Amino acid sequence: MVNKKRRIAFKAGVGLIIVMLFFTFFSSSINYFITPKVTISLARHGSIIIGQEYVSGIIIPSSAVIDGSFVYVVSQADTFLGTQLHIDRRRIVIETRDFGQAVVSDGLTNREYIVTSWDRPLKDGQRVILPND
């Protein structure tokens, strides 16, 4: 009777380990198809020429601007699953636009990563991956 209980406990333990290994291995594959893939760009301080004037501020690609005054900023978090990227929707103030670039006067700081393209709708706080991950 004792040996039978041990065998059942052993089989249950082995089964639990197999299930854990399955989810560990396949969860990353499943997440690849579920999690939005984004491309990012570095917001940088600089100047562009508009007409005959220099306009200074944080320069970003115009493709990153959503609804005229928002961008998605990428943040990085270290979790027990490794490093993960998340996005935050942020309001910005655009001073001017020209030639595919926008000069931001408020809402971004130098050297923040922003989302420039995505493969499915995004939500604030959502986890994202880069296409080559």
Q: What is the per-residue pLDDT across 68-123, written as a single tens digit (0 to 9) for each?
A: 999 999 999 888 878 889 999 999 999 988 878 999 999 999 999 999 999 999 99
Domain count, the chain: 2
List CB contacts of 104: < 8 A, sequence separation 6 or more.
43, 57, 58, 59, 60, 92, 93, 94, 95
Q: What is the residue whose two structure tokens read 């997440």?
A: 31
Is there a domain that residue 102 lies in?
yes
Please indicate, yes or no, whether residues 119 and 82 belong to a single structural domain of this protein.
yes
Q: Is 73 helix (H, G, I), strand (E, B) or coil?
A: strand
Does 117 lie in the same domain as 60? Answer: yes
Full-model pTM: 0.73
Q: Is residue 70 part of a domain?
A: yes
Q: Are residues 75 and 107 in the same domain?
A: yes
Residue 77 to residue 85: CA distance in whole angstroms: 6
- Please, which residues have CB within 8 angstroms of residue 65's CB and are 6 or more apart in sequence? 71, 92, 94, 102
Residue 24 domain boundaries: 1-34
* Chain segment 33-79, per-residue pLDDT in tens: 678 899 999 999 988 887 788 888 999 999 999 999 999 999 998 88
